[in-house]
């Protein structure tokens, strides 16, 4: 009965090396991340080239509708249209890239086409977000952007004051400040591990259900595939909205709470 959990179909936790590029190993998830990047850049580059005021090409029209949709979703958490436009390229890139990489784990051929590397059979493609290196890199980029814009908008003194707010003579201030700093580090961990855990756990669940169902694997994995599509969408949206919320929370320190009546955006820039 223990062999039910010892399935051999699922991917191991760490992505496997395909070949070496000099000193750096090139893994199968890196390869598929490159493929997804080429696809995304090609698609949006073509749409950008064909975009006009009244676009004639259907691709440009659909891409513009999609961008408008995502911008509308994001505008609510920013409140200020100029600020939203400033941060929109990064957030939209995060959303689209994470979405396409999450969904790519469901394509036929991913995890099933294998090559033999040094005598071990290794799958050729593996979804990029099932690689903890990848989600950690994205989390580092997002949080670096948050801190960079925090220092740029409030200034270094305001940034330190954001953590160590309160009476400087009171030792409790330092204790709370250290806790806040630890919370910032924890954001890195939770942002990367959440995306990795959800997508990798979903793939492992899919493999386990396929092994458990035996001959009826094709029917039993169908609801799990729908769950995976839903979870991919939610996690991509969540990553983008969390980054947007962190940016808003760390750069709006010092403005009054009643924005929307009068927006002092001129005073900030």
Residues that bind another protein (CB under 8 A): 1-2, 4-5, 10, 13, 73, 76, 190, 193-194, 197-198, 200-202, 204-205, 208, 231, 234-235, 237-238, 241-242
Q: Which is nearer to another protein, 76 or 180 (CB)?
A: 76
Min dist. Cβ of residue 35 to another protein (A): 25
Min dist. Cβ of residue 204 to another protein (A): 4
Check if the beta carbon of residue 127 is closer than 8 Å to that of residue 110: yes
The CA distance from 103 to 228, in Å, is 8
Check if the beta carbon of residue 98 is closer than 8 Å to that of residue 236: yes
The CA distance from 97 to 141, in Å, is 14
Check if the beta carbon of residue 140 is closer than 8 Å to that of residue 94: no
DSSP letter, residue 251? H
Sign of CA dihedral 108, 110, 115, 120: negative
Q: Which is nearer to another protein, 117 or 238 (CB)?
A: 238
Min dist. Cβ of residue 143 to another protein (A): 17
Min dist. Cβ of residue 135 to another protein (A): 12
Q: Which is nearer to another protein, 28 or 243 (CB)?
A: 243
Q: Which is nearer to another protein, 77 or 265 (CB)?
A: 77
Min dist. Cβ of residue 15 to another protein (A): 14
DSSP letter, residue 3? G
Q: Which is nearer to another protein, 154 or 210 (CB)?
A: 210
Q: Which two tokens stand for residue 158?
A: 């305001």
Size of the chain in residues = 269
């Amino acid at each position: 009965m223990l062999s039910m959990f010892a399935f051999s179909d699922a991917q191991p936790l760490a992505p496997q090396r395909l070949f070496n590029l000099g000193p750096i190993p090139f893994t199968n998830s890196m390869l598929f991340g490159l493929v997804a990047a080429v696809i995304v850049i090609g698609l949006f580059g073509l749409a950008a080239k064909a975009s006009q005021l009244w676009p004639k090409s259907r691709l440009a029209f659909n891409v513009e509708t999609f961008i408008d949709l995502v911008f509308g979703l994001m505008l609510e958490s920013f409140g200020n249209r100029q600020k939203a436009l400033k941060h929109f390229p990064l957030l939209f890139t995060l959303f689209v890239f994470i979405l396409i990489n999450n969904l790519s784990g469901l394509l036929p051929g991913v995890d099933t086409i294998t090559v033999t590397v040094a005598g071990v059979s290794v799958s050729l493609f593996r979804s990029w977000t099932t690689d903890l290196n990848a989600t950690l890199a994205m989390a580092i980029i997002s949080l670096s952007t948050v801190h960079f814009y925090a220092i740029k908008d409030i200034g270094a003194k305001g940034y330190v004051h954001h953590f160590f707010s309160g009476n400087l003579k009171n030792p409790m201030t330092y204790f709370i400040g250290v806790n806040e700093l630890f919370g910032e580090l924890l954001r890195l961990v939770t942002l990367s591990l959440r995306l990795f855990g959800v997508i990798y756990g979903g793939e492992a669940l899919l493999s386990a259900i396929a092994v458990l169902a035996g001959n009826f694997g094709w029917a039993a994995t169908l609801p799990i595939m729908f769950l995976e599509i839903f979870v991919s969408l939610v996690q991509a949206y969540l990553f983008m909205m969390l980054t947007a919320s962190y940016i808003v929370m760390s750069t709006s320190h010092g403005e009054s709470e009643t924005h929307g009546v009068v927006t002092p955006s001129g005073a900030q820039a």
